[in-house]
Amino acid sequence: MYQRKAIVVNELDNVASALTDLRKGEIIEVKVGNIVYRVRLASDIPFGHKFALKKINRGEHVIKYGEVIGRAVKDIEVGEHVHIHNVESLRARGDLKKSE
């Protein structure tokens, strides 16, 4: 029986979420619409955390559930852990309302 290890909810997403603890070097297959991504993980990904399906350049939006959840503060390579060390949140930030 096939055990899905990661999930993508929306075709706009550029990250996938781990459904179990994943290990660096593992190759994870994730289906997004008609596209199947085969991603070699660049780092360990804890359960519930995200990894990049495609390169996300510094300043680009991180998209999960079809919604922008943050902005990359540095380039994020395919298979890299996507979390607070490389993403700036854009939600509930009153300081951004004036500048955006």
22-39: pLDDT as tens digits: 999 999 999 888 889 999
36-88: pLDDT as tens digits: 999 999 999 999 999 999 999 999 999 999 999 999 999 999 999 999 999 99
Q: What is the maximal distance between C-alpha atoms in the chain?
A: 52
Domain ranges of the chain: 6-97
In CATH, the architecture of 6-97 is Roll (2.30)
| Dist. CA 55–CA 37, nearest whole Å | 13
Whole-model pTM: value is 0.87
| Dist. CA 100–CA 87, nearest whole Å | 17
Q: Name the residue type at position 99.
A: S
